Amino acid sequence: MSSWPTETKYISHSTARIDAPAKLTGKARYASDIQAEGWLYGMILRSKWPAAKILSVNLDKARQLPGIKAAVVAREGEFNVRYYGEEIAAVAGTSKQACLDALRAIDVKAEVRHEFVVNETDARKSDSPQVWDGTPNAPATPHVRENGSVDTAFPECAAVIEGFYTTPVQIHNPMETMGNTVSWTDEGVTAWASTQGIASVRDGLAGALQVDHSQVRVITEYMGGGFGAKFGAGAEGVLAAKLSKAAKAPVRLMLTRFDQALAVGNRPSSFQKIKMGALADGTLHAFEAENYGTAGIGGGADAGGGGGGADIPMPYLYKVPNTRVKQSAVAINAGSARAFRAPGNPPASFGMESAMDDLAVKLGLDPLEFRLKNDPNPIRQREYKMGAEKFGWKNKYQKPGSSPGIVKTGIGCAGAAWPAGGGSKSTQGEAQINPDGSIEIRLGVQDIGTGTRTVIAVVAAEILGLKPEQITVRVGDTNFPPGPGSGGSTTCPSVSPTVFDVCQNALQQLQAQSGLADARGENWFAACKKLGVNPLVVHGKWQEGLSSSRAAGVQFAEVEVDTETGLVTVKKILGVHDCGLIINKVTLESQINGGIIMGMGYALYEERVMDDLSGVVLNPNFETYKMPGIADVPDIEIILVNMPERGVIGIGEPATVPTAGAIANAVANAIGARVSSLPITPAKVLAALGKVPPPVNA
Amino acid sequence: MKNNEPENLGAHSRRTFFKSLGTVAATAATAQVTSVAAELEKINAEKVIGPNAVPVTLKVNGEKLQLLLEPRVTLLDALRNFSSLTGAKEGCDRATCGACTVLLGDTPIYACSKLAIEAQGVEITTVEGLAKNDQLTKVQQAFLDKDALMCGYCTPGFLMSVTALLKKNPRPNADDVKHACAGNICRCGTHPRILQAALKAAGVETASKTEVVAYV
Amino acid sequence: MKAFTYATAHSTASARELVADNGAYLAGGNDLLNLLKEYLVSANILVNIKSLPGLDKIERGEKFWMIGSLVTVAQIEDDQDIKKVFPSLHAAASEVASQQIRNVATVGGNLAQHSRCWYFRQRDTVCLKKNGDLCYARNGENRYHSLFTGNTCISPVVSSLATTFAALDATAIVLRDGKETRLSMAELYHRAWENPLAHNSLENGDLILRVEIPTARTASAYLQISDKHAFDWALVSCAAAAEIENGKLKSPRVALGSISPVPHQVEAANSFLDGKVLDEATATQAADMILKDAKPLEHNAYKVPLAHALIRRTLLKLKGDA
């Protein structure tokens, strides 16, 4: 069986991101930059009603406007829309301006339904308007998992806490919106997609357009972030294709920032009622929880790429002998959820880790000690201890609210577990080695900003004894051997073993053809020269034994809370993370920074807000859907636990899981009161401190 | 046309009168009444243009772009959709994310919130205009060295903001960098490294905050 | 945006004529372009006023300074003399939006900007300000809304320059029907207090020419708190200004922003502070007086303690610090 070399020149060291120059000079072309010959601008008309029966969509006037080359409906005949922002029609024209005018010339006749619901708590009531006719918004009985005997266990506990921990719907909001440039001709379909899964786009387009897979090519050289939402062709991809066919020209259809908040996925909310008890010695003994959350009109099939459901793992990291967990999803008239960076885990970590701290406080225990007493995972145990030492936990820890002064400091911690990793076994790759020694590796994976291209170059350089800059890496084309979708933190463990295999095969064949016993390193050029005129093309695929799954991870947070204004300032975050064998340290660190910052946004700023009365999204923008900026980002320190014996695992998701829990616990520690609802805004801090007067009846 | 002396009319009518003369500035210029020429020049300067496309000349990265644009076309739109300069990105089109940041002269602005017709007569610099002959600028090199980018979509905007900052203040501290970059959003989370890169480009080296340990 | 024509005005008279009934003045354009992109306002002509002579100057005087309406917020932030003479103005300007916006945003545009209420800004909700018959915020999502109002609309004024000018007792000089009209900050926003359709007291065709700031109040301070640390609208902002004579306040003024359609001032509080030594107890009493009649709604009651804290801190900052 294969194994990674133990002495390495590049693996586990730092190689600069190889596509940095292209991105830094503006040369990199994203789906939104493609200017195919004769290209047209595309735009979607969306429902301004949260619930309606669309009776007719008249495109005649729109089609006649100057510059408009095509207009199509989203669905034929009469159809129902069930959320504000659902697709109704699309147009393609020679300019953005032409399209804007055309959208306003589309005549939509609708039977507007005044019965809709966008609030989870209201939607669960038996008299709530139904999102889907004839179907209750929430199941009559929740899904129940039990073990042991929770009812007899609680009375045995020395301390019991109850809490209601809630998290909002979170919007992915990658910097590049969803979309594609699509050209559909008699020759087939070419889509330059902003996607995390070129194969999923091909699959989606082929199915929707009813063409053979072999006639669909998807290209993603660069894409501006996905975070789980960008899988499948999307309504927008299919519409772009149809417009292209009708207009006989490529169509670039990118969503607007407004669209992003409405219709292309989100992280479900959670409403976690938790009751938890421990014995006198600090052992967790009983756990009862009821959680509901919304995945919009529905997760599952509609969500694309899986992970759209509202269920979360409870009691998350901990093994409690007596548990009862009830979960149900509630439908509301809002866009469907989609997988979002570690689906289910950030809310689960936030709820559980908040409850852990609350119970530790009630028991009079240091929350870190409480975790060490109860966390069954030896890796996390080690990470907590390493982190605590670097963080200075023992010195910094004070009893909740005991920090002096108006601006109080506090610390908190939380843990993560990410089950996936492992690698997609169907990943393949190829290398073309030229007689002049140049080598091109081709893999149908996409680099979504994580540094996948660089990982490929690093592994290849290591195995072949070359420098990473000698490796030309080409990714993001369904014409290349199939690669994994970039999700589940599985990309690095899929791609690395594959490149390993490709390179091993390359060496074997090069050595056989050249007669040189070892074609690596300084022998490379001599060996390649012996190829004569033709290049050598070798194939390879994912190999067993070079990757595995399961990442842990813990984070520590230090915050300052101004108890007069409620403002929370995160001073420092320490992340202690394992991901098996570190392939490229510098890009790995960036991933962890990114996960932490996204988790911080979840903790303090992000929330999709909908209006109960009108059913619209109130913050479909960056103005009031708030994400961390450079002035908000704290000092971030990282301890990387290198575990080469486990092979390559992924990091993208574990890095974002525990941040909100750690920050929430730090806030509670600082002010001596619990804000159990994300995001932790000044308003909520002041309320937790009892400083907010009641509203005045108008 | 009435044969009245323009000086006797009120300002309102004066303007209407001169409008009615049309743009015969050339003829008027050779006339003895030079005040008429001056007035005509003023009227031309106040000419109403649009709503259809009008000629617009943009000086971008040292080159001239001659375009035909409706007045409602923004500078960002002009760059991305009416020329091949797709370096400046569209993240929001609402002056909230900075992905479209370009320099007008030395001044960073949101291209999405500047009409293209109002960006004439000034040197515009986009990300494509930073590196000369494939030689990265100090700022670009620092971004590369510090891995201050991931997906790269926000990167052009940040590069312009940091470049502008260092031109204005070659010795910024961390707060200055944060102040200059507050108008740029990143979703991948490159902020810590952008801060380090900006400081590095200003000659201030910052230490790495990562420790690698073996699992023991 | 809908199509529009465009012209550059070289005199205020031309500007007024060009803008007619259905046009809009274009200065920095941040607010106007966003409003047009969302189809919240309609303009068939945009009149560029950036070439109007004489409106882009900062004129230093002994008793008064004049800041032209075309002066950008960035120019105010960068002006080292303003930092010394009107520290509150420097502080407010430096926190407006982002560098990119400050570089083009003008004083006039900042004062004239439209409501930021998310129901107003929502393209599909027809609220009171858009001639609808309902204020959605009252019984809806009102976390960013007013604690005080004279009408059914609860959208607050958000211009932090307005708050600061209010504390400095500055006057806006507005050209209306060819005549210069002087408006205090209270007068500049009074119509929004009374009329749900109004964002401020400016009428169609009005052009802010300059802001006149008396120099008498040599101590001034400004603070705001937002959810985030930068590039975020203030939840509450506070400006204070006064002369300090023998350790006592003279002609003090305290104004709050983002909690009322007008910069919120309570005369009784200003009078109370006049002649007092500035300390924690006085500041607290003043804050109580300023917030006495607040009418918090379901989600914005946090603004009361937040404003209270800001008032105390801003006042105490008048004593002078780094």
CA distance C107 to chain A (A): 21
A270: β partners: A167
**Distance between CA atoms of residues C311 and C184, nearest Å:** 21
Q: Find the residue in C nearest to B69 (Cα).
A: C3
Say if the Cβ atoms of A682 and C138 lie within 8 Å.
no
- The C-alpha atoms of residue B154 and residue A630 are separated, in whole angstroms, by 13
Q: Residues A388, A442: one domain?
A: no
Chain A: partners with 3+ C-beta pairs within 8 Å:
B, C
Q: Do B45 and C37 touch (CB under 8 A)?
A: no
CA distance A492 to A479: 21
A186 domain residue, yes or no: yes
A682 and A628 in a single domain? The answer is yes
Q: Is residue A437 part of a domain?
A: yes
Question: Which chain B residue has the Cα nearest residue A341?
Answer: B188
Does A254 reach chain B within 8 Å, measured CB to CB? yes
Q: Where are the domains of chain C?
A: 1-53, 58-113+153-317
Residue C3: list chain B partners with CB under 8 A: 50-52, 70-72
Give chain A positions within 8 Å (CB) of C125.
611, 614, 616
Domain count of the fold of chain A: 3
Question: Under an 8 A CB cutoff, do B74 and C17 touch?
Answer: no
* Inter-chain residue contact C4 with B47, CB threshold 8 Å: no
**Cβ contacts of A227 on chain B, cutoff 8 Å:** 187
Contacts of residues A521-527 at CB distance under 8 Å and 24 or more positions apart, as own/partner, are: A521/A464, A521/A465, A521/A466, A522/A465, A524/A437, A524/A464, A524/A465, A524/A466, A525/A436, A525/A437
Q: Is residue A169 part of a domain?
A: no
The C-alpha of C25 sits at a distance from chain B's nearest C-alpha, in angstroms, of 14
What is the average pLDDT value for chain A, to the nearest integer?
96
Question: Tens digit of pLDDT per residue, chain B (216 long)?
Answer: 333 333 333 444 444 554 555 544 444 444 556 677 777 777 788 999 999 999 999 999 999 999 999 999 999 999 999 999 999 999 999 999 999 999 999 999 999 999 999 999 999 999 999 999 989 999 999 999 999 999 999 999 999 999 999 999 999 999 999 999 999 999 999 999 999 999 999 999 988 788 898 886
State the pLDDT at residue C228. 98
Structural domain span for residue A50: 34-114+178-254
Identify whether residues A404 and A525 lie together within a single domain: no
Contacts of B153 in chain A (CB under 8 A): 30, 174-176, 224-225
What are the Cα distances from residue A674, in Å, to A34, A37, A312, A562, A677? 49, 58, 22, 15, 9
Q: Does A598 touch chain B (CB under 8 A)?
A: yes
Task: Give the residue on B whose Cα is nearest the Cα of A175.
Answer: B91
Closest chain A residue to C152, measured at CA: A698
Task: Establish if A577 belongs to a structural domain.
Answer: yes
Q: How far is CA A687 from CA A633, A692, C226, C304, in A?
A: 25, 5, 16, 11
Domain co-membership, A414 together with A430: no
B91 to chain A: which residues are within 8 Å by CB?
Answer: 175-177, 257, 622
Report pLDDT for B43.
73
Residue ending a domain, among A514, A541, A568, is A541
Residues 6+ apart with CB under 8 A from A86: A46, A47, A262, A263, A335
Fold classification of C58-113+153-317 is: Enolase-like; domain 1 (3.30.390)
A655-B100-B133-B105 Cα dihedral, nearest 10 degrees: -130
The nearest alpha carbon in chain B to A176 belongs to B91
Same domain? A461 vs A318: no
Chain B's closest residue to C15, CA to CA, is B46
Provide the strand spans (E) within A299-450: 322-329, 407-415, 418-421, 428-433, 439-443
Cβ contacts of C252 within 8 Å, gap of 6 or more: C217, C240, C241, C242, C270, C273, C274, C315, C318
**Final residue belonging to a domain, choices A517, A541, A565:** A541
Report chain C residues whose CB lies below 8 A from the CB of A618.
118-119, 122, 141
Structural domains in chain B plus CATH codes: 8-45 (no CATH), 54-93+103-122 (3.10.20.30), 138-201 (1.10.150.120)
DSSP strand pairing (A471-475 vs A428-433): unpaired
From the list A666, A615, A655, the residue with the least C-alpha distance to A86 is A615
User: Domain holding A60: CATH number?
Assistant: 3.90.1170.50
Contact assessment for residue A217 and residue A250, using Cβ atoms and an 8 Å cutoff = no
As given in the structure block, the two tokens for residue C320 are 């002078």
pLDDT digits (tens, 9 = 90+) for A649-673: 999 999 999 999 999 999 999 999 9
Q: Which of C37, C124, C152 to mutate to test the interface with A (most CBs of A within 10 A)?
A: C124
* Whether A629 and B93 lie within 8 Å, measured CB to CB: no
Q: How far apart are the first and last CA of chain A?
A: 75
Residue A411 forms part of a structural domain: yes
Shortest distance between the Cα of C244 and any Cα of chain B, in A, equals 31
Give the number of other CB atoms < 10 A from CB of residue B100: 30
Check which CATH number belongs to the domain holding A517 and give it. Answer: 3.30.365.10
Residue in C with minimal Cα distance to B179: C99
Same domain? A96 vs A219: yes
Number of H helices, E strands in chain B: 8, 6
* Residue B23 pLDDT: 47
Same domain, A287 and A396: yes
Would you say residue A460 lies in a domain?
Answer: yes
| B52 Cβ contact list (under 8 Å, min separation 6) | B70, C3
In chain A, which stretches have pLDDT less than 70?
Answer: 299-308, 420, 697-698
Nearest-Cα residue of chain C relative to residue B70: C3
Domain identity same for A566 and A487: no
| Burial class of residue B30, CB neighbours in 10 A (0-12, 13-18, 19+) | exposed
Mutate to test the interface with A, among C229, C292, C315, C316 (most CBs of A within 10 A): C229
| Residues of chain A with C-beta less than 8 angstroms from the C-beta of C140 | 611-613
At B178 the pLDDT is: 98
Looking at the domain assignment, is residue A215 inside a domain? yes
Q: List the one residue out of B155, B152, B189 whose CA is nearest residue A591.
A: B189
**Which one of A96, A449, A595 has the shortest CB-CB distance to B152?**
A449
Q: From the CA of B45, how many Å to the nearest CA of chain A?
A: 26
Map tokens 């004070």 to a residue. A398
Note whether A621 contacts B80, CB cutoff 8 Å. Answer: no
pLDDT at residue number C250? 97
| Residue from the list B48, B49, B183 with its beta carbon closest to the beta carbon of C100 | B183
Counted across chains A and B, CB pairs separated by less than 8 A come out at 209
| Cα separation, A67 vs A56, whole angstroms | 24
pLDDT digits (tens, 9 = 90+) for C254-309: 999 999 999 999 999 999 999 999 999 999 999 999 999 999 999 999 999 999 99
Domain boundary residue among A254, A278, A311? Answer: A254
The residues of chain C scoring below 70 in pLDDT are: 321-322
Residue closest to A556 by CA, chosen among A377, A691, A396, A374: A396
Torsion of CA C290, C293, C297, C299, to 10 degrees: 20
C1-53 carries CATH number 3.40.50.2300: no
A681: contact with C, CB 8 A cutoff: yes
- Among C2, C118, C298, whose Cβ lies nearest the Cβ of A618? C118
Residues of C in contact with A100 (CB under 8 A): 1
> Do A445 and A413 have their domain in common?
no
Contacts with C42 from chain B: Cβ below 8 Å: none
**Which residues of chain B lie closer than 8 angstroms to C78, CB-CB?**
none
By C-alpha distance, the chain C residue nearest A569 is C229
The answer to whether residues A657 and A676 belong to one domain is: yes
Q: Collect all residues of chain B within an 8 Å Cβ-Cβ radius of residue C5.
A: 48-51, 71
A392 and A476 co-located in one domain: no
Q: Are residues A96 and A202 in the same domain?
A: yes
Rg (CA), chain C: 19
Whether residue A9 is contained in a domain is answered as: no
